[in-house]
Amino acid sequence: MVEVKAPSAGVGQTALFIAWMRQLESERPDALFRDPLAAAMLSALSQDPVLADVAEVIKQTHRSAEGFPAYFAVRTRFFDDEILAAVRGGIRQVVTLAAGVDGRTVRLDLPAGTRWFEVELPEMTEFKDALVAGSGLPVACERRAVAADLREDWPSALRAAGFDPGQPTVWLVEGLLMYLADAVGEALLAGLTDLSAPGSRLMLEHLKAAMLQEEGRPVRERVEEQGAQWLSARDDLEQWLGGHGWQATVYAGDDPRIGHGRTVAPLPACWLATAALTAGER
């Protein structure tokens, strides 16, 4: 039997929190998606004290921001739709940076030949590998786990895992940039752009700048209770991505055009972007 041990405090527990949010969505009769890996995680960790800590944060969060889970449901569905459109359009190489407990490799209907790289810290990679193996869920594509720190030389680790920079790539940067200092986020975007062939697509989330001010304090406190911290936010995603060669369309997290009828809480206030690499840019 595969042993599944919860990750330590910090961003690892934040990943458990988000997976639980996806499970809450999956239980709805009108769910925007269903995530069996999140259910497997809750089952595997049912007796782990770490999960009890995460449960308490969830309770506090629900009390402080009504409609809070809806944001994560809308975010997940938005990126699901964008990724599926890209792979059905012919891209067969996907990379998730800071994959957490993302269940897309077991729940999305992916075309044959899709290769999906999941880049994460070594501890989270070990946890995710054990979770996928122990769940018994069939993987919908060729899944390759890449243990690397995104603040260091992660491109070399990605290449070593078999990533081909000569092929178009779908990049997913979800729930990550707000935990990185501005300079690290800048280097990360430059690094993935350098690895991107023409035709590549980028799906990206970032905080609105107000979340680092008084307006965002209630949600920041919930994040900090999990041992993590928001370090960056910005309101110029179109210009920022454009400066790196990506033509982006950006939506607010509570934009009804992407909400599927859900009412999303005003906090946390985030941006969701989908972008295409401008011809000739690398």
What CATH number does the domain containing 249 carry?
A: 3.40.50.150
Backbone angles phi, psi at 131, to 5 degrees: -65, -45
State whether residue 77 is helix, strand or coil. helix
Give the pLDDT of residue 46.
75
What is the three-class DSSP state of 116? strand
Residue 96 scores a pLDDT above 80: yes
Whether residue 21 lies inside any domain: the answer is no
State mean pLDDT over 172-187: 96
Whether residue 234 contacts residue 212, with contact meaning beta carbons closer than 8 Å, is answered with: no
Average pLDDT over residues 158-171: 98
Number of domains in the chain: 1
Whether 18 is covered by a domain: the verdict is no
Which CA distances in Å does 195 have to 50, 169, 240?
37, 9, 18
pTM for the whole structure: 0.92
Query: What is the rounded CA–CA span in Å between residue 213 and residue 7?
Result: 30
State how far the Cα of 81 lies from the Cα of 69, in Å rounded to an integer: 19
Compute how many other C-beta atoms are within 10 angstroms of the C-beta atom of residue 114.
19
The pLDDT tens digits for 152-162 are 999 999 999 99
Peptide bond into 155 cis (omega under 30): no
Q: What percent of the chain has pLDDT over 70?
A: 87
Residue 11 belongs to a domain: no
Distance CA 155, CA 190 (A): 11
Residue 223 has pLDDT above 60, yes or no: yes
Cβ neighbours of residue 238 closer than 8 Å, sequence gap 6 or more: 248, 250, 273
Give the orientation angle of helix 122-135 with respect to helix 36-44, to 10 degrees: 100
Do residues 81 and 89 touch, judged by C-beta distance below 8 A? no
Q: What mean pLDDT comes out for the span 74-96?
A: 98
Bigger pLDDT: 109 or 226?
109
Residue-by-residue DSSP string for 176-239: -GGGS-HHHHHHHHHHHHHTPPTT-EEEEEEE-GGGGSGGGHHHHHHHHHTT-------S-HHH
Residue 44's pLDDT is what?
A: 81
Q: Are 209 and 233 in contact (CB under 8 A)?
A: yes
* Burial classification of residue 132, based on how many CB atoms lie within 10 Å of its CB (0-12 exposed, 13-18 middle, 19 or more buried): buried
**Residue 189 counted as domain residue:** yes
The rounded mean pLDDT for the chain is: 89
52 lies in a domain?
Answer: no
Residue 1's pLDDT band, with cuts at 50, 70 and 90, is very low
Query: Residue 49: inside a domain, yes or no?
Result: no
- Per cent of the chain over pLDDT 90 is 70
Domain that holds residue 136: 68-277
User: What average pLDDT does range 74-85 have in this prediction?
Assistant: 98
User: For residue 43, what pLDDT is reported?
Assistant: 83
Lowest mean pLDDT among 40-54, 117-131, 206-220, 245-259: 40-54
Please compute the mean of the pLDDT values over residues 52-58 and round it to a whole number.
61
Cα separation, 84 vs 34, in Å, equals 15
Give CA 158 to chain center in angstroms.
Answer: 17
Tell me whether residue 148 is in a domain.
yes
Classify residue 4: in a domain, yes or no: no
**Structure tokens, 209:** 């700048």
